[in-house]
Structure 1
C-alpha cells in the first residue's frame, strides 16, 4: 500500500523517506500552515530530491504560482486543498497530475461532491472537515466511502495514526478499497509541526506492507 508523508520541512528527513518505502512526500505551499515548506526547505533542495515522488499542496493559490512551483521544485503532482473550481483544476491538469482534496463532514454526499471534478482531475483525496484548510488530526467516518461510486483513484487522509494499519488493510479489502491509491499521514507522526518522528513512520510503513 502506498504511503504519502505530508508536511515535510526538513531536508535530512526528506532524504530518508524513499529508503523507508514511502512513495510520496508532500510539501505545503500555504504560508498560513504550521508546516509551510519554506520554513526549512528551499526550492533547490526540493528540486534535487529524486528518490521520491513530490506532491505540492496548495490552497487557493493563483494558477501562475502553482505552475511556477511545479517548475521550480520539479513537482510530480499537485494537491489542491482549497476551494478550487473544476475549471481551475482543468487548467492545472494540462501541465501536471492533479489531486483534488475534499473535506468530509458527516452528512456529505460524496458522489455529488466529486461529480463536477470527475473529468478535470486525475485523483481525489478525502480528508476531515475542519475550521480551516489545514489538517485536523481527526478521522472522518470511512464508512461514508463504502457505498460511494468514486470513479477515480483516491488518497485517504485525516488523522491516520500509528496502530491504524489493520483498519487500513480491512478498508483496502472492501470493494471501494480497489480505488485506494495511497494513505496520507501527517500530524500523528510528528514530534512538532513539520518535524516527523521517523521511527514511527518507518514502523507504520513496515506494518502496513508486511516488510
Structure 2
C-alpha cells in the first residue's frame, strides 16, 4: 500500500516527514488553501515522488511548477476537462504521473470516469466539501463498491490513524486501491504534520 502525505508547507517538517519515506509528498499550489506552498522544496529522498496539487490552474503554471520543483506527479483537483488532461500529458516530461481527483459525498456517477481513463495514470477519490480537499471528513466508502474500472486509485478524505482499520477492510475487496492520501488528520496546524502521527500511519500502511 502506497502512502501519500499531502499539504506539506514547512521545509523542516518536509525533511522530518521525508525521513520516514512516504511514497508521495504533496505540495498545494492553490493560493486559497491554508496549506498553500510558495517556497523551495528541500532535497528529499529520491524514492519520494514530489506531487504538485493544482485547482483549475493554467497549463503554463503547471508546467512551470513541474520544472521549478522537479515534480514527479501532478494532482488535478479542480474541474479539469478530458481535453485539458490530454494536452497536459502531451506537453509534460514523459515520466510525470497525472492523478485526477473526483469528489464524492453519498453518491457518484462512475460513468464520468471513463473518458479520463486514457489521459491520467490514477484517479483519486476525495470527500466533497466546502474546499477542494483538506476538509477532514470521510465519504461513504460503500459507494466505491460500484467502481467499474480496473484503473488504480488513491483513497483520500479524512483518513487518519483511526480510519486505518476501515482502509484494511476495503483492501480485502477486489477494488484496485493503489495508495492512501492523508493530510489534515495528521496535523498540528494546517500544513504542519505531527511527526508521531505520520510515523504511526507509515507503519500501519506498511502492514497493509
State the TM-score, normalized to the length of structure 1.
0.91
Residue 134 (structure 1) aligns with: 133
Whether the 8 Å CA contact 2:18–2:44 is kept in 1: the answer is no
1:78 corresponds, among 74, 81, 86, to 74
Q: Which runs of 5+ in 1 are unaligned?
A: none
2-structure distance, mates of 1:103, 1:27: 19
How far the C-alpha of 1:19 sits from its partner, in A, is: 2.9
Superposition map of 1:113-192 within 5 A: 113-176=112-175, 179-192=176-189
- 1:88 Cα deviation after fit: 0.4
In 2, Cα distance between equivalents of 1:76 and 1:36: 19
Secondary structure of 1:25 counterpart: strand
Distance 2:167 2:21 in 1: 17
- Name the structure 2 match of 1:49: 44
Q: CA deviation at 1:132?
A: 3.0
Secondary structure at the counterpart of residue 209 of structure 1: helix
Q: Where do residues 3-152 of structure 1 align in structure 2 (5 Å cutoff)?
A: 3-38=3-38, 41-42=39-40, 45-46=41-42, 48-51=43-46, 52-94=48-90, 95=92, 96-109=96-109, 111-152=110-151
Contact 2:77 2:101 in 1 (8 A): yes
How far apart are residue 191 of structure 1 and its match?
0.3
Alpha-carbon separation, structure 2, partners of 1:146 and 1:126:
13
Name structure 2 gaps, 5 residues minimum: none
> Deviation at 1:17?
2.6
Contact 1:166 1:208 in 2 (8 A): no
Q: Shift of residue 30 of structure 1?
A: 0.2
**Cα deviations by residue, 1:128-147 (Å, 9 ceiling, x for unpaired):** 01123232111011111123
Partners of 2:157 and 2:85 in 1: CA distance: 22
Q: What RMSD over aligned residues (CA atoms) do the two structures have, in Å?
A: 1.5
